[in-house]
Amino acid sequence: MSNFLDFSGVWLSKYRYHSDSRNKDFEDTHYVRIYQKRNHLVVESLPEANESYLIVNLTIHDNLATGSWEETTSPKGYYKGSTYHGATQLIIEERGKRMHGKWLGIGRGGDINVGPYELPYIGKELPANAKPAKIEIAKASL
């Protein structure tokens, strides 16, 4: 399937995580651009639309994207420029315009965390006035 799909363009990276220190769930979003070479994807946050930096390296096999991620949080935010990293595995939907799955990574306390991760396609260019926001998620919705 993926041999015929073009993943290049702007996507919205969305993931959920639980903050033990704040005892709340959050959803983080980043506008990203995907660069593709054959079955390898590099997903990189767009500096003009994000305060933190995210890079994800994926390899595609059939309808599955598997790889690693690294995020350096905003120096102004709660995590003060901390760097986190881990693994991800995503299912590519049939038309190739959305991927969804799970991320996994080590938290500040040393525990392995896991949560939902999604990449919907936005378009060839960043939308005007694009600015993702950190959103608190009610525990009951997870």
Cα 51 to chain centroid distance, Å, stands at 14
pTM of the entire predicted model: 0.87
* pLDDT of res. 135: 43
Q: For residue 105, how many other CB atoms are within 10 A of its CB? A: 20
Cα-based distances in Å from 16 to 26, 27, 123, 132: 6, 4, 23, 14
3-state secondary structure 48-92: HHCCCEEEEEEEEECCEEEEEEEEECCCCCCCCCCEEEEEEEEEE
HSE-up (13 A, CA, CB side) for residue 38: 2
* pLDDT of res. 3: 56
3-class DSSP assignment, residue 9 = strand
* pLDDT of res. 107: 87
Q: What is the mean pLDDT of each run of 10 residues along the chain (142 residues)?
A: 80 94 92 96 94 96 97 92 96 96 93 96 87 47 41
